[in-house]
Structure 1
Amino acid sequence: MVAFRNHRPSQLSALALNRRRMLALGGLAAGAGALGACGGNTGRGSADGVNLSQWYHQYGEPGTQQAAEKYAAAYEDATVTINWIPGDYDTALSSGLLAEKQGDYPDVFEGHLNRAMVESGQIVPLDDILTDVLDDYTPDDLARNTIDGKVYGVRMIDDPQFLYYRPSLLDGAGITPPATFEELMAAAAELTTGDVKGLFLGNDDSATKLFQPIVFSAGQTLLTEDNQIGFDKDTVIAGALQAKELHESSSLLIGAPTEAWDPSSIIQELCAIQWCGLWALPQIIEAHGEDIAVIPFPAFGSGTPTVFNGGWDTFVNAGSEHVDEAKAFVKWLWVDNEEFILDWNLSYGFHIPPRLSMRGGAEQLADGPAAEAVRISEEFGWAENPNWTPTMETAVDDMMTHIVLEGNDPSTEFDNAVATIQGELDGIFG
């Protein structure tokens, strides 16, 4: 599953938004173009001929598409067609949610909740199908799917992201696993040789990815419970300047053959430490055996380590001609079907089952680095906030890029980002 999933789809409908509201909620990518979906008619169908379309982004693990088709084929109350979307899933989904013709839009789709989806009337609440199991989800998984007291998404998988490293390399260099960002920088420098870089955080040089670890390691947050800005200037600028120092070293792997969501770089020994997700653990173990371990992302300043608990959720399109039938399918697959939920989480890479009652049976996660990944995700993990809009994320991404990669004035860049975020908040919450 793709890593660094703190981005959100641009899921806004023009139907329920005037221009000011659309801008306030983050906007919609215009001219989304063709969907490029790969379809598969996999359901057996029902007597009344209900057809449902279920959309997934293209997962990287072998067998995932076939698994989704297997689940659909087992459903007897509708014919479920799987659309497996390669490439830019966010743009394809934005376009699909604006479509009016059945077959062109998803009835059920995976994604990440954003307030815009609710404000524009694109999705329906799912409280009624979750009533009996709400206590079986983590508070974070409920919070990331809740807007104004209503639950709109059903959690499918939990995907913590952290740093993989090979203990033999650190032991050989006399390095202890880094607990602070300064220690990570020093370790990356020491582990860099002519053929191996010390650290791989992503081909964009990590400027944008580090903002949220900076905030959460300081014990701060993106938005407070009353939807005010939850981070301060001194903390962010100090962290950004540390990231700039790392960028200016020669310790980072840049221009790797694949992005950091793929474990190929640490498998092929292009780097000593790599930021990736739990899903990649089976591949890494196959390559390096017991010579692999995980740690949370080290703390900035005097903060604490952090783990981004990413993942995916399922939603029902309010524009579907079969909303009730779509909700029934979601309940059958992602609420009631323990066999398929565990299969999806544990058979194609490793993921943490979102249902607390099912985690005890996840033997694959019971020991070794998998168990450590689960532990640190519970101790240091943080989740998305559905009120944090794409425009807000773009503002901080631009700020980090301008400070870290372009050397712009940190104070000015921070003020610009905060002004954009505050404008968003004022537009949404008045």
Structure 2
Amino acid sequence: MNVSRRRLLSASAGLATAAVLTACGSNTGGVSTGSKSSSTSGGSGKIVQWYHEYGEKGVQEAVNRYAKDYKDASVTVKWNPGTDYMKLLGTTLLSGSGVPDVFESEYGATLDMIQKGQVVNLTDTIGDAKSTFSQPVLDRMTLDGKIYAIPQVVDMQLLYYRKSVLEKAKLSAPTTFEQLVEAAKAVKTNDMGGFFAGNDGGVGVLGNLLIWASGFDQLNDDHTDVAFMEQPFFDAVSAYRDFHQSGALLTAASKDWFDPAPFVNGETAMQWGGLWSLRDIAKKWQDDFGVIAFPAIGASGKQAVPFGAYGSCVAAKGTSNDVEAARKFAKWLWVDQTDKQVDFANSFGTHIPSQPDLTEKCSQINSGPGKDAAKMVDKYGKAPSLFWTSKISDAYSAALTNVVKKGEDPKSAFAGVQSTAKAELKRVNK
């Protein structure tokens, strides 16, 4: 399992820890991180490209191979080990020294990068290929109609369930939260939990999902206020609190939600997890499992899945100071070279290409549960807003914990979140 990918998806879940909120736009603070570079031959121009350290074996060799194939410039790949890549990137951009010409960034450019003019508009670079990308993924890398990153590869969270266990209880895969609760209660035994979403009772990883699954967005359209202070959201949080207290929700397993072990070991009949676990789960249960989106909550609710995606950005003032050359390379690699995109998504773990039509060429997700999962991003995909800062996320997570675990009234608890969000959004809206 790739820890860096898990961090990105954890950030999308709204966990209130600094370690997983690196995509919220903070460009302050120093960091000392080692790096490895690989110079490659090419044309007369020079381009410096940055990647974070991927956990899957073979990725570094692959990106060096891609760079070497480019003939219009000499591309130097810098591989950045460690867990502080986004902090290192932010600090480097802020300093203006040693800035890479092309670099990957969590969910594409951060709000700070865009507002400070550190990245260039890539709308024309993508051009007519815009329609080939997953719309929710591309939307997350867009601000005010301008695209600031080209999606590279997509990861996601989803719900795994045992087909035979639900069939024995004469139940179908749940599409509503009410059905999820019913199924969890029906299949729970002394040895197996009904549903598992983390040893914290799911409060961390399912946080933002309670907003999306109840039919709301995190923020309003002009990014001045939260968009979920409505009774259906309060009802959704209350329903999850009741579920948490029902005994059908497994709250202590051998591993946490991001590890497939509880589901593989038979500790739970249903588990919220990541696409990265698909291969291990398929190896264990073969045809006896399925995947679904998080169920809709309430009459206005919608099914949802969080996704994570790194995007390729072009610096406004990179080391080589040749924006057009950098644009050309980014387009060549992440728009035109579909064979390399399939290789990047398919050969190192289990991921989804950012251009959905390429899914059929990816052996792990072109049939069965993998194919079902890949379709969910376009249909139900959600990601945190560019304006959902760490301060808002922390306030939201604290309020949710107080409601679910301490019994606080939802309306009162989230009134504090709304107050924090308004002040924070006033600060970051420029």
Common fold by TM > 0.5: yes
SS at match of 1:281: helix
More displaced 10-residue stretch of structure 1: 360-369 or 238-247: 360-369
Across the two proteins, how many residue pairs are aligned to each other?
A: 412
Matched with 1:277 is 274
Matched, 1:291 2:253: no
Matched with 1:213 is 209
Matched, 1:171 2:180: no
Once the 2 structures are TM-superposed, how far is the Cα of residue 341 of structure 1 from its aligned partner? 0.4
Matched with 2:152 is 156
Matched, 1:109 2:104: yes
Distance 1:391 1:125 in 2: 27
> Could you say if the C-alpha distance between residues 51 and 312 of structure 1 is closer, same or farther in structure 2, counting changes exceeding 3 Å?
closer
Distance 1:157 1:396 in 2: 28
> Could you say if the C-alpha distance between residues 116 and 394 of structure 1 is closer, same or farther in structure 2, counting changes exceeding 3 Å?
farther
SS at match of 1:294: strand
Matched, 1:246 2:236: no
Distance 1:238 1:409 in 2: 11
Q: TM-score, normalised by structure 1?
A: 0.84
Residue pair 1:55, 1:109 contacting (<8 A) in 2 also: yes
Per-residue deviation, residues 306-358 of structure 1 (Å, max 9, x unmatched): 22233222223335222524333322221111111011122223333222443
The residue correspondences of 1:15-414 to structure 2 (distance < 5 A) are 28=26, 31-35=29-33, 37-39=34-36, 41-46=37-42, 48=44, 50=46, 52-59=48-55, 61-76=56-71, 77-102=73-98, 107-112=102-107, 113-227=109-223, 228-254=225-251, 256=253, 258-302=255-299, 303-323=301-321, 324=323, 325-362=325-362, 364-414=364-414
Matching residue's letter, 2:52: Y
> Could you say if the C-alpha distance between residues 57 and 390 of structure 1 is closer, same or farther in structure 2, counting changes exceeding 3 Å?
farther
Matching residue's letter, 2:336: D
Matching residue's letter, 1:181: F
Residue pair 2:111, 2:386 contacting (<8 A) in 1 also: yes
Residue pair 2:199, 2:252 contacting (<8 A) in 1 also: yes
Per-residue deviation, residues 354-392 of structure 1 (Å, max 9, x unmatched): 224434544543331122223444433334432333333
Per-residue deviation, residues 175-200 of structure 1 (Å, max 9, x unmatched): 43222223323333443444433322
More displaced 10-residue stretch of structure 1: 255-264 or 365-374: 255-264
SS at match of 2:117: coil
Distance 1:246 1:88 in 2: 36
Per-residue deviation, residues 243-268 of structure 1 (Å, max 9, x unmatched): 22233344444465554333233223
Distance 1:270 1:424 in 2: 42
Distance 2:120 2:103 in 1: 11
Residue pair 2:188, 2:194 contacting (<8 A) in 1 also: yes
Percent sequence identity is 28
Distance 1:288 1:156 in 2: 30
Matched with 2:17 is none
Residue pair 1:233, 1:414 contacting (<8 A) in 2 also: no
Residue pair 1:108, 1:326 contacting (<8 A) in 2 also: no
Distance 2:256 2:30 in 1: 24
Once the 2 structures are TM-superposed, how far is the Cα of residue 404 of structure 1 from its aligned partner? 1.7
> Could you say if the C-alpha distance between residues 93 and 235 of structure 1 is closer, same or farther in structure 2, counting changes exceeding 3 Å?
farther
> Could you say if the C-alpha distance between residues 292 and 42 of structure 1 is closer, same or farther in structure 2, counting changes exceeding 3 Å?
farther
> Could you say if the C-alpha distance between residues 357 and 173 of structure 1 is closer, same or farther in structure 2, counting changes exceeding 3 Å?
closer
Once the 2 structures are TM-superposed, how far is the Cα of residue 129 of structure 1 from its aligned partner? 2.0
Q: Which runs of 5+ in 2 are unaligned?
A: 15-19
> Could you say if the C-alpha distance between residues 318 and 203 of structure 1 is closer, same or farther in structure 2, counting changes exceeding 3 Å?
farther
Residue pair 2:209, 2:304 contacting (<8 A) in 1 also: yes
Distance 1:89 1:257 in 2: 30
| Runs of 4+ off more than 6 Å | none
Matching residue's letter, 1:147: L
Once the 2 structures are TM-superposed, how far is the Cα of residue 81 of structure 1 from its aligned partner? 2.4
SS at match of 1:133: helix
Once the 2 structures are TM-superposed, how far is the Cα of residue 414 of structure 1 from its aligned partner? 0.8
Residue pair 2:229, 2:414 contacting (<8 A) in 1 also: no
Per-residue deviation, residues 275-294 of structure 1 (Å, max 9, x unmatched): 12334322221222111101
Per-residue deviation, residues 131-156 of structure 1 (Å, max 9, x unmatched): 23122223323321111222101111
Residue pair 1:207, 1:401 contacting (<8 A) in 2 also: yes
Matched, 1:418 2:418: yes
Distance 2:421 2:103 in 1: 31
Residue pair 1:299, 1:306 contacting (<8 A) in 2 also: yes
> Could you say if the C-alpha distance between residues 38 and 68 of structure 1 is closer, same or farther in structure 2, counting changes exceeding 3 Å?
same
Distance 2:27 2:237 in 1: 29
Distance 1:34 1:249 in 2: 47
Matching residue's letter, 1:424: E
Matching residue's letter, 1:50: K
> Could you say if the C-alpha distance between residues 38 and 102 of structure 1 is closer, same or farther in structure 2, counting changes exceeding 3 Å?
closer
Distance 2:74 2:426 in 1: 43
Distance 1:120 1:29 in 2: 10
Residue pair 1:280, 1:349 contacting (<8 A) in 2 also: no
SS at match of 2:329: helix
Distance 2:59 2:261 in 1: 19
Distance 2:316 2:420 in 1: 30
Superposition CA RMSD, Å: 3.0
Distance 2:298 2:409 in 1: 21
Matching residue's letter, 2:110: N
Once the 2 structures are TM-superposed, how far is the Cα of residue 56 of structure 1 from its aligned partner? 2.0
